[in-house]
Amino acid sequence: MSEFIAPLERLVESFQRLPGIGRKSAVRMAFATLELEESRAVEFAEAILSAKRDIRRCGCCFNLSEAELCPICSDESRDRSTVCVVEDTRALMSIERVREYNGLYHVLGGVLSPMDGIGPDQLTVKELVARCADGEVKEVIIATNPNVEGETTAMYITKLLKPFGVQVSRLAYGVPVGGDLEFADEVTLYRAIEGRRAL
Amino acid sequence: MSEFIAPLERLVESFQRLPGIGRKSAVRMAFATLELEESRAVEFAEAILSAKRDIRRCGCCFNLSEAELCPICSDESRDRSTVCVVEDTRALMSIERVREYNGLYHVLGGVLSPMDGIGPDQLTVKELVARCADGEVKEVIIATNPNVEGETTAMYITKLLKPFGVQVSRLAYGVPVGGDLEFADEVTLYRAIEGRRAL
């Protein structure tokens, strides 16, 4: 038996389907939605439908896009010889925010994780290889997350791309800027020492 | 300039309008919504519209309701001589969960808060008085929150209802069951001593 009247319960359940949203948060958000002005609520519902309807994957890099090519791939000023491989669009956006990288991207759509049934075929690995086989790409920077799956995926891709003569690199590991050595974990510190740079 | 493509930005903004949802949470939920199956996303949008369209205030107690009267007010087995006054529907539901109270409710729609421009006219105070003037209500239990505004509102209502000869009471203050005296604040302890019960 639900504790709420039907329309409210359905709204709570919809919020609850979002990952990381528990029952309590879902209830709080459902009540907040009820308090929205009519026009805001309509905008909210329309935004959900529009997001699903109008957003697709870029035909080149699999970034989110409204058009066949995403804004980055269709930007003529970007360096087409460099491709940064990321797990998802959010990682891509983190790198974009730095405003330092001027190449293109390739969104994998996840990382290799045999436990979850995710192999190369569930990712856009084949498409990445095809891009590198073209000859235009000279360098691939692998920016998967610094964990076991990200590492495994990076090594797998590196091996796959070797035959094409592209230069493959990985983001540097080390202590985070502004962090305190005291709180850095041992693996990070080990990587920071290993990757030390001459001054 | 927005960091996202337009349909995604609109979705982020909609989530962000919910109180307590910051930019980061809104972005996380917008991406999660994008990952929903098509049918789930449609259900979500429909749930928002339905909640706004199909839920109204009970004509008697102002609880959320699909019909003219809410399920509690239309339940013949409930004691119509007792009315529990709460700030909002969520407080009502907390009391319902105890499964101990068998009277009716009255949802104020907030508490007196002159700083926020909320006076008696912004609440359902007039309607509460009208209910008590009927003669059917014998007891009113005020269950506003145990803070300054809740207290002020309770005192205000008590004064208003006096002429009608109804018995007005307030939820008991004290140490929470299962709590530890060590962690109880001084005001709560003071109230617990003040309200001590003979054994």
B45/chain A closest Cα distance in angstroms: 4
Range with the poorest average pLDDT among A111-115, B72-76, B106-110, B172-176: B172-176
| Residues facing residue A84 across a β-bridge | A105, A141
pLDDT band at B92 (very low <50, low <70, confident <90, very high): very high
The ipTM assigned to this model is 0.79
Cross-chain residue pair B3–A96, CB shorter than 8 Å: yes
Q: List chain B residues with CB under 8 Å of A40.
A: 14, 17
pLDDT for res A177: 79
Taking the CA atoms of B145, B150, B153 and B154 in sequence, report the sign of the dihedral they define. Answer: positive
pLDDT for res A134: 85
Cross-chain residue pair A11–B66, CB shorter than 8 Å: no
pLDDT digits (tens, 9 = 90+) for A62-95: 999 999 999 999 999 999 999 999 999 988 988 8
**Mean model confidence pLDDT for chain B:** 91
Give mean pLDDT, residues A113-134: 94
3-state SS track over chain A: CCCCCHHHHHHHHHHHCCCCCCHHHHHHHHHHHHHCCHHHHHHHHHHHHHHHHHCEECCCCCCEECCCCCCCCCCCCCEEEEEEEECCHHHHHHHHHHCCCCEEEEECCCCCEHHHCECHHHCCHHHHHHHHHCCCCCEEEECCCCCHHHHHHHHHHHHHHHHHCCEEEECCCCCCCCCCHHHCCHHHHHHHHHCCCCC
Reading the block at residue A80, the tokens are 């087409």
Q: List chain A residues with CB under 8 Å of B17.
A: 36, 40, 44
Cross-chain residue pair B40–A17, CB shorter than 8 Å: yes
DSSP track, B3-71? SS-HHHHHHHHHHHTSTT--HHHHHHHHHHHHHS-HHHHHHHHHHHHHHHHH-EE-TTT--EESSSS-T
pLDDT band at B187 (very low <50, low <70, confident <90, very high): confident
Share of chain A above pLDDT 90, in %: 71
Domains in chain A (CATH in brackets) are 6-54 (1.10.8.420), 69-198 (3.40.1360.10)
Query: How far is Cα B16 from Cα B34, in angstroms, rounded to an integer?
Result: 16
| Residues facing residue B140 across a β-bridge | B83, B168
Cross-chain residue pair B5–A71, CB shorter than 8 Å: yes
Give the residue, B146 or A127, on which the prediction is more confident: A127
Q: List chain A residues with CB under 8 Å of B53.
A: 7
Query: How far is Cα A129 from Cα A110, in angstroms, rounded to an integer?
Result: 16
pLDDT for res B1: 45
**Mean model confidence pLDDT for chain A:** 91
pLDDT for res B176: 82
Cross-chain residue pair A10–B54, CB shorter than 8 Å: no
A89/chain B closest Cα distance in angstroms: 9
Residue of B nearest to A4 (CA): B93
pLDDT digits (tens, 9 = 90+) for B52-85: 999 999 999 999 999 999 999 999 999 999 999 9
pLDDT digits (tens, 9 = 90+) for A149-176: 999 999 999 999 999 989 999 888 887 8
Interstrand relation of B79-86 and B103-107 (parallel, antiparallel or unpaired): parallel
Residue from the list B6, B49, B90 with its beta carbon closest to the beta carbon of A45: B49
pLDDT at A44 over 90: yes
Query: How far is Cα B31 from Cα A181, in angstroms, rounded to an integer?
Result: 34
Residue of A nearest to B24 (CA): A90
Cross-chain residue pair B55–A44, CB shorter than 8 Å: no
